[in-house]
Amino acid sequence: MDESLRKDPSQAIANRLPFDILEEIFKNYLLEETPDHPVETLLLICKSWLQAALESTRLWSTFRINRNPDFWVSCIPRRLARGRKDVLLDIYIRVTSPSNSKKECRPSLAHL
């Protein structure tokens, strides 16, 4: 590790990225989100990312509901609580089989 970063972590590039660049990173992270790597992981990078993530309406209003209903049942209420109440939600649903679609999605959608 660079000695200057060890003395002053605020000099790391991650701490100096402009908000619009962070928004792009967040948008791409949403596309690849998994239960093992949820969007909330972005809150742990550094203080500037925490601030930017909490200010990002897209992070807390976009839901890509897929094959893991247990994950979504637990995270939807948290994300709705973090998001602004005056922002429309973007909801994407991917089902594994049309015959199971209601069964798969119903628990998650009950929170919306």
Give the length of the chain. 112
pLDDT, residue 15, reads 79
Q: How far, in Å, CA of 23 to CA of 20, rounded?
A: 5
- The tens digit of pLDDT for each residue in 69-104 reads 788 888 889 999 998 889 999 988 877 666 666 666
- Residue 70, domain extent: 3-109
pLDDT top residue among 60 and 5: 60
Chain Cα centroid distance, residue 73: 15
Helix (H) or strand (E) holding 108: helix 101-109
Q: What is the pTM of this model?
A: 0.71
Q: At what angle do helices 47-55 and 19-32 cross, to 10 degrees?
A: 80
Q: How far, in Å, CA of 100 to CA of 104, rounded?
A: 6
Quote the number of domains for the chain.
1
